[in-house]
């Protein structure tokens, strides 16, 4: 670099690299705007080092000065600390504009009755917008995003049939504590004929095509000690909310996939399979022992479910 | 005057100086973390004084191996960042302590699927089995692949102890000797210490699979058992109700 090569035409310094006889690489100085921006970033970095946690030291690190964050501990004590993401999050949750708005609404909903929520357009729309996120995150994986469930596995939440009760108190209990849906398998208790008879009887309860003679025999098993079905499903077959046992007299099927079966034989087979294998379903706990949703969040979900399933009337 | 050409035209010097510049990044940003006490939070049960974050049980650890084998980490992260939206969606932000026994950690960098750091207990075992076997049967809009072989394949436990010894060498406190076992009893409590005993690994794995019956088939310990056991423990070790939020802020 002692004798820089110059381009004879322009007088500009070149690197000395030449291609195709005349194509040269000029060694022009960096553009001024670029150079000053570069120096600017260096100055920015130094300011950043001073203000924010940056350099590791022995056993600790520089904590930054001039931008402390104030937050409240759970115990209610006000604290101030050097800038860090965790304190910033606590601060945002306690003081952020959106967070405060959300908390005000949550407090309002938490204190209101379900009737008040349903009648207040403000609270209703809050429940709708907050509930859709909560439902999507906590419920939709099983009950599907529309709440329609999966026949055979997860109950439909948008019809007016409720296994464990559709009043808001029952829905709250279900969400908070989870549920264990259990029906014993009858394959070792009843023989093939008896299974057919009970299945025919169950179909006849909701007006499906069934063999009348077999159904009459099935009724005896259903209502007698041989099957003992009545203990959970009641003598009339209407089910009990306390047991989570299905109402067999309506047209709604939650386990046996009758909607998918067209021929009477297929329907019979579907019902028989359920009696044969029993039912074991589990809804997880969303209260303090499980997912730890707060009482207010559970309330929002219950109110949201009411809206989904067609309003307060349908849920009763 | 010093000119950058003098470095750029001397390749030996350029290599040396590049290495220096890069290693400063590592030496200054990473190495000191190992010497700063606040990096990994101290999370002890206020009632018993035992550490609440424990190494995985043999069954969970095998599940974790499968999680890595199947490449779950390419679409799922395990790192809830301290932002309001993540807090609202996934729950409490991840602590450094929660992945201190992960080798390698599964924080991930890409969320094609949701974050799994707190998926434990969120869904039932049955759901997990159904979803892993055929995701679209429960989540129609899902693009996750099917993993039907998990339930059909018996879990290979032949090298279980070897795997645990390997983890022990990189610092996971599994115990082999009486002294190490006693140290674990003091640290995690007797119940947990028993599950960390390498000599009992096969028995512990079988017992947990039998008691948990994760895949719904008690006659066989399948890969599904292990993976679901692992998923169900994710993010559940720290009970955040026991701690004032301030406790974790003080570590930063």
Q: With bands split at pLDDT 50, 70 and 90, how would you rate the model's confidence at A310?
A: low
Residue B235 and residue B124 share a domain: yes
Task: Please name which of A139, A181, A173 lies closest in space to residue A158, comparing C-alpha atoms.
Answer: A139
Q: How far is A90 from chain B (nearest CA, A)?
A: 8
Given an 8 Å threshold on Cβ–Cβ distance, is B93 in contact with A1?
Answer: no
- Provide the number of structural domains found in chain B: 2
How much is the average pLDDT of A144-167?
A: 89
Task: Please name which of A75, A71, A73, A51 lies closest in space to residue A63, comparing C-alpha atoms.
Answer: A51
Given an 8 Å threshold on Cβ–Cβ distance, is A86 in contact with B32?
Answer: no
**Average pLDDT for chain B:** 93
Q: Which of A144, A281, A292 is opposite residue B241, by nearest beta carbon?
A: A292
Cα B13 from chain centre:
42
Residue A273 and residue A129 share a domain: no
By CB atoms closer than 10 A (0-12, 13-18, 19+), residue A157 is buried
B46, part of any domain: no
Q: Which of B3, B5, B36 is opposite residue A60, by nearest beta carbon?
A: B36
**Average pLDDT for chain A:** 89
Question: A19: part of which helix (H) or strand (E)?
Answer: strand A13-19
Residue A273 and residue A190 share a domain: yes
CA gap A223, B182 in Å, rounded: 59
Output the CA–CA distances (angstroms, integers) from residue B122 to A133, A149, A280, A283, B91, in the order listed. Answer: 15, 17, 18, 10, 11
Residue B168 and residue B228 share a domain: yes
By CB atoms closer than 10 A (0-12, 13-18, 19+), residue B142 is middle
Residue B117 and residue B18 share a domain: no
pLDDT of residue A192: 92
Cα A260 from chain centre:
27
What CATH number is associated with residue B104? 1.10.760.10
B51, part of any domain: no
β-pair type (A179-183, A78-81): unpaired
How much is the average pLDDT of A94-113?
A: 93
Q: Is the pLDDT score of A170 beyond 60?
A: yes
Q: How far is B211 from chain A (nearest CA, A)?
A: 16
Residue A265 and residue A137 share a domain: no
Residue B28 and residue B139 share a domain: no
Residue A186 and residue A267 share a domain: yes
- Domain of residue B182 covers 58-249
Task: For residue A16, report the phi and psi dihedrals to the nearest 5 degrees.
Answer: 90, -5
pLDDT of residue A316: 39
| Minimum Cα–Cα distance from B122: chain A residue | A291
CA gap B184, B194 in Å, rounded: 9
Given an 8 Å threshold on Cβ–Cβ distance, is A1 in contact with B84?
Answer: no
List, in sequence order, the alpha helices (H) in chain B: 5-8, 11-29, 58-69, 84-90, 125-133, 149-152, 160-169, 178-188, 190-195, 201-212, 223-233, 245-249
Q: Is the pLDDT score of A312 beyond 50?
A: no
Q: How far is B40 from chain A (nearest CA, A)?
A: 13
Q: Cis peptide leading into A94, omega within 30 of 0?
A: no
Q: With bands split at pLDDT 50, 70 and 90, how would you rate the model's confidence at A315?
A: very low
Task: Please name which of B67, B69, B94, B68 lies closest in space to residue B80, comparing C-alpha atoms.
Answer: B94
Residue B188 and residue B72 share a domain: yes
- Provide the number of structural domains found in chain A: 2
Residue A159 and residue A211 share a domain: no
- Domain of residue A174 covers 123-178+286-315
CA gap B173, B185 in Å, rounded: 11
A255, part of any domain: yes
Given an 8 Å threshold on Cβ–Cβ distance, is A96 in contact with B29?
Answer: no
By CB atoms closer than 10 A (0-12, 13-18, 19+), residue A97 is exposed
Read off the pLDDT of residues B146-186 as tens digits, 9 standing for 90 and up: 999 999 999 999 999 999 999 999 999 999 999 999 999 99
How much is the average pLDDT of A111-120?
A: 92
Question: A314: part of which helix (H) or strand (E)?
Answer: helix A311-315
Residue B222 and residue B113 share a domain: yes
Q: What is the dihedral of CA B219, B224, B230, B233, to 10 degrees?
A: -70
HEC profile for A157-186? CCCCCCCCCCCHHHHHHHHHHCEEEEECCC
Given an 8 Å threshold on Cβ–Cβ distance, is A142 in contact with B3?
Answer: no
Residue A174 and residue A242 share a domain: no
Output the CA–CA distances (angstroms, integers) from residue B3 to B7, B9, B159, in the order listed. Answer: 8, 11, 59
Task: Please name which of A83, A129, A111 lies closest in space to residue B88, comparing C-alpha atoms.
Answer: A129
Task: Record the tokens describing residue A210, joined without a space.
Answer: 């069934």
The distance in angstroms from the start CA to the end CA of chain B is: 45
The Cβ of residue A164 has, within 10 Å, a number of other Cβ atoms equal to 18
pLDDT of residue A11: 82
pLDDT of residue A70: 94
CA gap A118, B49 in Å, rounded: 47
As a whole-number percent, the residues of chain A with pLDDT over 70 amount to 97
CA gap B66, A310 in Å, rounded: 44
CA gap B158, A135 in Å, rounded: 43
Q: Which of A90-94, A262-266, B111-115 has the lowest mean pLDDT?
A: A262-266
Read off the pLDDT of residues A204-248 as tens digits, 9 standing for 90 and up: 999 888 899 999 999 999 999 989 999 999 999 999 998 899 999
Chain B residues within 8 Å of chain A (Cβ atoms): 3, 5-6, 9, 28-29, 32-33, 35-38, 81-84, 87-89, 91, 93, 121-127, 130-131, 137-141, 240-241, 244-246, 248-252
Task: Please name which of B101, B64, B57 lies closest in space to residue B209, comparing C-alpha atoms.
Answer: B57
Residue B128 and residue B224 share a domain: yes
Given an 8 Å threshold on Cβ–Cβ distance, is B244 in contact with A73?
Answer: yes
Q: With bands split at pLDDT 50, 70 and 90, how would you rate the model's confidence at A160?
A: confident
Q: What is the mean pLDDT of each run of 10 residues along chain B (252 residues)?
A: 80 94 84 80 93 97 97 96 92 94 92 94 90 93 95 95 97 96 96 96 96 91 97 94 92 87
Task: Please name which of A146, A59, A286 lies closest in space to residue B139, comparing C-alpha atoms.
Answer: A146
CA gap A260, B226 in Å, rounded: 34
B53, part of any domain: no
CA gap A264, A256 in Å, rounded: 13
Residue B63 and residue B31 share a domain: no
| Chain A residues whose beta carbon lies within 8 Å of the beta carbon of residue B5 | 1
CA gap B117, A16 in Å, rounded: 58
pLDDT of residue A2: 52
| Chain B residues whose beta carbon lies within 8 Å of the beta carbon of residue A145 | 141
Size of interface A-B (CB pairs under 8 A): 105
Given an 8 Å threshold on Cβ–Cβ distance, is B93 in contact with A89?
Answer: yes
B44, part of any domain: no
Contacts 24+ apart (CB under 8 A), B118-121: B118/B80, B118/B90, B118/B91, B118/B92, B118/B234, B118/B235, B118/B236, B119/B231, B119/B234, B119/B235, B120/B231, B120/B232, B120/B233, B120/B234, B120/B235, B120/B236, B121/A284, B121/A285, B121/A290, B121/A291, B121/B232, B121/B236
Residue A307 and residue A163 share a domain: yes
Q: Is the dihedral of CA A311, A308, B91, B130 positive or negative?
A: positive
Residue A263 and residue A129 share a domain: no
Half-sphere exposure of A72 (CA within 13 A, CB side): 7
pLDDT of residue A83: 94
What CATH number is associated with residue A277? 1.10.760.10
pLDDT of residue B1: 63
Residues 6+ apart with CB under 8 A from A113: none
Residue A273 and residue A154 share a domain: no
Q: How far is A215 from chain B (nearest CA, A)?
A: 33
B166, part of any domain: yes
How much is the average pLDDT of A268-276?
A: 93
By CB atoms closer than 10 A (0-12, 13-18, 19+), residue A163 is buried
- Local structure of A78: helix, strand or coil: strand
Q: Which of B5, B82, B88 is opposite residue A86, by nearest beta carbon?
A: B82
β-pair type (A5-6, A13-19): antiparallel
């Amino acid at each position: 670099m002692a004798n820089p090569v110059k381009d004879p035409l322009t007088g500009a310094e070149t690197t000395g690299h030449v291609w195709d006889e005349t194509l040269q690489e000029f060694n022009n100085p960096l553009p001024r705007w670029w150079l000053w921006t570069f120096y600017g970033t260096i100055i920015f970095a130094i300011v950043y080092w001073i203000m924010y946690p940056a350099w590791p030291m022995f056993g600790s690190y520089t904590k930054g000065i001039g931008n402390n964050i104030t937050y409240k501990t759970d115990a209610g004590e006000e604290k101030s600390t050097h800038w860090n993401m965790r304190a910033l999050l606590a601060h945002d949750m306690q003081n952020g504009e959106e967070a405060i708005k959300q908390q005000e609404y949550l407090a309002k909903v938490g204190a209101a009755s379900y009737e008040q929520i349903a009648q207040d357009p403000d609270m209703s729309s809050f429940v709708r917008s907050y509930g859709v996120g909560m439902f999507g995150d906590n419920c939709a994986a099983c009950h599907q995003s529309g709440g329609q469930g999966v026949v055979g596995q997860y109950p439909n939440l948008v019809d007016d049939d409720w296994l464990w009760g559709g009043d808001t108190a029952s829905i709250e209990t279900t969400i908070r504590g989870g549920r264990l849906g259990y029906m014993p398998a009858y394959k070792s208790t009843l023989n093939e004929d008896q299974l057919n008879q009970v299945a025919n009887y169950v179909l006849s309860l909701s007006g499906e095509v069934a063999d009348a003679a077999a159904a009459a025999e099935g009724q005896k098993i259903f209502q007698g000690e041989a099957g003992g079905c009545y203990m959970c499903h009641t003598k009339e077959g209407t089910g009990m909310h306390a047991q989570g046992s299905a109402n067999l007299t309506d047209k709604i099927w939650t386990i046996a996939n009758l909607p998918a079966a067209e021929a009477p034989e297929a329907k019979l087979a579907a019902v028989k399979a359920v009696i044969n294998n029993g039912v074991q379903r589990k809804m997880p706990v969303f209260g303090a022992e499980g997912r730890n949703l707060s009482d207010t969040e559970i309330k929002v979900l219950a109110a949201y479910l009411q809206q989904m399933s067609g309003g307060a009337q349908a849920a009763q | 005057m010093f000119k950058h050409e003098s470095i750029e035209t001397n390749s030996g010097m350029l290599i040396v100086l590049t290495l220096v510049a890069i290693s400063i990044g590592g030496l200054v940003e990473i190495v000191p973390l190992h010497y700063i006490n606040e990096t990994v939070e101290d999370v002890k049960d206020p009632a018993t004084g035992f550490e609440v974050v424990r190494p995985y049980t043999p069954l969970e650890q095998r599940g974790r191996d499968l999680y890595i084998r199947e490449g779950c980490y390419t679409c799922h992260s395990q790192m809830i960042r301290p932002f309001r939206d993540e807090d609202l969606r996934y729950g409490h932000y991840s602590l450094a302590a929660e992945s201190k026994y992960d080798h390698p950690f599964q924080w991930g960098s890409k969320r094609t699927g949701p974050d799994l750091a707190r998926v434990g207990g969120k869904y039932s075992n049955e759901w997990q089995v159904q979803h892993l076997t055929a995701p679209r049967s429960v989540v129609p809009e899902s693009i996750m692949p099917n993993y039907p072989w998990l339930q059909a394949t018996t879990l290979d436990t032949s090298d279980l102890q070897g795997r645990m010894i390997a983890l022990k060498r990189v610092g996971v406190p599994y115990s082999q000797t009486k002294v190490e076992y006693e140290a674990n009893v003091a640290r995690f409590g007797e119940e947990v210490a028993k599950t960390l005993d390498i000599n009992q690994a096969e028995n512990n794995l079988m017992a947990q699979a039998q008691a948990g019956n994760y895949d719904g088939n008690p006659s066989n310990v399948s890969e599904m058992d292990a993976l679901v056991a692992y998923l169900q423990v994710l993010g559940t070790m720290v009970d955040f109700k026991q701690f004032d939020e301030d406790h974790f802020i003080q570590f930063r």
